[in-house]
Amino acid sequence: MVRFIPREEKFFDFLRDAAGNILRAAEILKQMMDSYQDPASSARDLKELEHEGDKITHDIIRMLNRTFITPIDREDIYSLTSALDDILDLIEAAADRMVLYQIQVPTPEAKDLSAIIYDSAKEISCAIGRLSGLDHVYEHCVEINRLENAADRITRDAIARLFQGGYDPFQVIKWKEIYETLEAATDKCEDAANVIEAVVLKQG
């Protein structure tokens, strides 16, 4: 069912920009983990995208504060914007920790989590791209939830292995924080999906 909602189109433009920015960041993180040729350069690129994301967030909040009638609930716009901003912050933070902690080689679990973040970012971008018409949005939210569950399992198993012995204590501390940061990004993807799903239910 295709259903259109009255809108200040600029809100959807900004949200699409934010989602696209996250997708670019997730792609850089995945490429960084896959090749690991110049992680410091990737971290710098992500810092630039994080700054761009902050600008988009400020633009949305500023428009929200001066718009009387919004196309979807004001609280949902704010919650979705906040979740998107958090995703980008966590992607940037994960890359920064890889450089800060002088990680020499990413683990298979870190690569898997980065791939899940990238796949989740693609789903978010598709869902937000369809949000103004509410057409086939729900399926993307379901997939994001599935990906988050997979990330939970990977993170749980990866951290358990850290404490099974054979690892330097400092490496345990470093990798535990990196895993948790990557997993937190998938949590925020799920938060964004939950807001999007709520919007669809309200309009349905």
Q: What is the pLDDT of residues 62-87, one digit of tens each?
A: 998 888 778 888 899 999 999 999 99
* Domain range list for the chain: 9-203
Residue 8, pLDDT > 60, answer no
pLDDT, residue 106, reads: 97
Q: Give the closest residue to 197 by CA, choosing from 116, 140, 148.
A: 140
Architecture of the domain whose range is 9-203: Up-down Bundle (1.20)
Q: Are 83 and 192 in contact (CB under 8 A)?
A: yes
Mean pLDDT of the chain, nearest integer: 92
CA 93-99-105 angle, to 5 degrees, is 115
